[in-house]
């Protein structure tokens, strides 16, 4: 399964230079803006963007001036180079979400935006998220979800895709890790947001 991580690193290093440009820009930014609006993070919160890529979510949060403590982690060196150019006060780290080494009960919010289907071990990721999230903290996953049929096709053609989830599967996943107050929202045509409280 680790070859999925290597595939992802190679793929995202290759596209990092134009990830934020052209047709990609609005396709990627609109769901992020909608997610931030829907979640409405509290001032002074400590937030992790797991699979932060070029830092689009972190930039939106940084610009909100809510005195947030922001952290990002990603496996692509090239994506993080782009992120570092646009961010001022964010702690960014090169690494795998499967190997998060933050302290227990550290974050108020963890976001995973369009990255969950790239994690090579979603079980380990969910355990890590639960461990480093404070009691009462929120996990927010936004990911592509088309339909069962198209999810299967997309997971076969996209490099480094470890499998797609339907809205129902995300809800069941959150329940299986004892998240409470689970809510979902469709963000545009292709994304589903799932949020739950620890």
Question: Where residue 9 sits, what CATH number does that domain have?
Answer: 3.40.50.150
Q: What is the pLDDT of residue 151?
A: 44
- Residue-wise pLDDT for 62-77, tens only, equals 999 899 999 999 999 9
Q: Is the model's pLDDT at 78 over the cut of 70?
A: yes
pTM: 0.88
Query: Is residue 18 assigned to a domain?
Result: yes
Structural domain of residue 8, as residue ranges?
1-36+45-136
Q: 183 - beta bridge partners?
A: 195
Q: How confident is the model at residue 10 (pLDDT cuts 50, 70, 90)?
A: confident
More confident call, 64 vs 144? 64
Query: Is residue 162 assigned to a domain?
Result: no
Helix (H) or strand (E) holding 111: strand 107-113
Query: Is residue 144 assigned to a domain?
Result: no
Please tell me the distance from the alpha carbon of residue 183 to that of residue 193, in angstroms, as a whole number: 8
Query: Which of 124, 111, 117 is CA-nearest to residue 150?
Result: 117
Segment 154-161 shows an average pLDDT of 56
Query: Is residue 19 assigned to a domain?
Result: yes
Please tell me the distance from the alpha carbon of residue 133 to that of residue 158, in angstroms, as a whole number: 30
């Amino acid at each position: 399964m680790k070859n999925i991580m290597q595939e992802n690193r190679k793929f995202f290093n290759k596209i990092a230079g134009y990830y934020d440009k052209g047709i990609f820009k609005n396709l990627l930014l609109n769901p992020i803006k909608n997610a931030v609006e829907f979640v409405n993070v509290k001032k002074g919160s400590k937030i992790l963007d797991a699979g932060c890529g070029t830092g689009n979510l972190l930039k939106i949060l940084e610009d909100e001036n809510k005195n947030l403590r922001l952290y990002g982690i990603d496996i692509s060196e090239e994506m993080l180079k782009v992120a570092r150019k646009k961010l001022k006060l964010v702690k960014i780290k090169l690494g795998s979400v499967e190997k998060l080494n933050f302290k227990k009960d550290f974050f108020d919010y963890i976001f995973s935006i369009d990255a969950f289907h790239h994690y090579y071990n979603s079980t380990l990721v969910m355990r890590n998220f639960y461990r480093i999230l404070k009691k009462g903290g929120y996990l927010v996953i936004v990911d592509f979800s088309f339909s069962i049929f198209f999810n299967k096709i997309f997971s076969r053609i996209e490099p480094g895709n470890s499998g797609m989830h339907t809205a129902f599967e995300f809800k069941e996943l959150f329940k299986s890790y004892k998240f409470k107050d689970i809510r979902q929202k469709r963000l545009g045509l292709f994304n589903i947001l799932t949020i739950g409280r620890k």
